[in-house]
Amino acid sequence: MFPTFGTQSFRVSDAVTSGCFGDQAFSIPLTDSVGETTATAGSYAAGTRQTHFETQFDIASAVPTAQQPGLHVSVSPDRGDGSRMSYLRFEDGTAGIDVFFDDVQGTTNPANFVETQVATGLDRTKTHTVKLTFDAVEGPSNDVVKVYIDGTLVQTGTSWENYYRFDSESASEQSPRIVRTVLFRSVGGANPANAGT
């Protein structure tokens, strides 16, 4: 359907959703992880620690001629167990594909998650190239995350490092996480009408 996808693509629906992480889709993990020197690896091999991460993919609607109400999926750089360090969400809006970016600003408890809409009404009949870069910088409040859509920088923000540093919900592991994979997640309200589309 979309020549730029080549011979393979990953198709996801929110006809069934889950609040878990282990039953979601993860990309093949990197050998060398990305993160600050204090970033924790959990049970995963960290390899040689790097400070820069990039992920890029093309996204398109499987029903380019109509809205699929409620359709949504999130994409996040992750340690491999749901320990996300950033977040993008794609929704099928009335005018096309809408894109949202969430980061954590400030050092409050609970964490201050700030959501920004970075694209509105992307054309469903076309593929769109999305790139997210993450630069881990030593110390709090200074990681840099950039989001590009179709080659244009649409957002510069920060990571989720301060959620892990300051929010009491993370008290058992109070440190930022490494990044070694990408999580594709369907969570929240399911939309059975989107099954098979």
* pLDDT at residue 111 is higher than 80: yes
What is the pTM for the complete model shown? 0.93
Mean of pLDDT values over 133-145: 97
Q: pLDDT for 147-161, tens place per residue? A: 999 999 999 999 999
Q: What pLDDT shows up at residue 1? A: 63
Annotated domain spans of the chain: 14-194
Q: Which CATH number among 2.60.120, 2.20.28, 3.40.50, 1.10.1060 corresponds to the domain 14-194?
A: 2.60.120
Tell me what pLDDT residue 147 has.
Answer: 98
User: Which of 19-33, 91-105, 157-171 is predicted with the least confidence, judged by mean pLDDT?
Assistant: 19-33
The model's pLDDT over 78-107, given as tens digits with 9 standing for 90+, comes to 999 999 999 999 999 999 999 999 999 999
Which of 2-11, 20-29, 66-75, 83-92 comes out lowest in average pLDDT? 2-11
Q: Please name which of 16, 55, 47, 58 lies closest in space to residue 185, comparing C-alpha atoms.
A: 16
How confident is the model over 41-85, as pLDDT tens digits? 999 999 999 999 999 999 999 899 999 988 899 999 999 999 999
